[in-house]
Amino acid sequence: MSSEWDRFFSGTGVKTPDQPAAAAPSLHTIQYKQGKVESLIWAYRDVGYLYARLNPLVGYYSADLLYMNEQDQGIYETLTLREFGLDEGDLDTVFSSVRVLQPPLAPLRDIIQSLRETYCSSIGIEFLHIQNKKMRRWIIEKMETTHGKPVFGAEKKR
């Protein structure tokens, strides 16, 4: 069994061929928390652009930038652990990072860092309104495999 799967199953109470059964949380608890992690991932995809660092004059808001002030005041959905039924104790728990985030199994702390780099850095992307699932999956794959920072060679840049 791979070390990633060993990390995933450690502490779940599920016996794998390479390890004894652990007396930690039940599989049901892990599945429940996995669902919470998946909701958090989709929330970053949905509203992460609202948390992107787009204002180089941090703290200055013109009428055009009013939505940024509203975000700072917490009017939009917050991307906190508590909002999704998770807590600090879950940060080192290994979860599935749902398809394209790499690695496929990672501690929650790493999943959140990857999502922040991808959706909340200096580039924001609003795309979940697109109804074509194939197009949405393509955007998700392109954003998450490069953390929103694609690398282009000299020829492609030209």
Mean pLDDT along residues 38-66: 80
User: What residues have CB less than 8 Å from 6, skipping those under 6 apart?
Assistant: 16, 18, 19
Query: What distance in Å separates the CA atoms of residue 29 and residue 100, rounded to the nearest whole number?
Result: 24
Residues in the chain: 158
| The pLDDT of residue 11 | 53
Contact status, residue 148 vs residue 121, Cβ threshold 8 Å: yes
Burial class (CB in 10 A: 0-12, 13-18, 19+), 48: buried
Residue 105 scores a pLDDT above 60: yes
Helix (H, G, I), strand (E, B) or coil at 34: helix
Residue 38 scores a pLDDT above 50: yes
DSSP the chain: --HHHHHHHTTTT--BTTBPPP-SS-HHHHHHHHHHHHHHHHHHHHHGGGGS---TTTT---GGGHHHHHHHTT-SPP--TGGGT--GGGTTSEEE-TTTSSSSEEEHHHHHHHHHHHHSSS-----TT---HHHHHHHHHHHHHTTT-----HHHH-
pTM: 0.71
Domain of 96: which CATH number? 1.10.287.1150
| The pLDDT of residue 13 | 46
| The pLDDT of residue 145 | 86
* Number of domains composing the chain: 1
Residue 87 scores a pLDDT above 60: yes
For the chain, what is the mean pLDDT?
Answer: 80
User: What residues have CB less than 8 Å from 155, skipping those under 6 apart?
Assistant: none
Query: 59-86 pLDDT, tens per residue?
Result: 666 666 666 556 555 556 789 999 999 9
| The pLDDT of residue 66 | 62
102 Cα distance to chain centroid: 11
- By residue range, what is the domain housing residue 84? 3-157
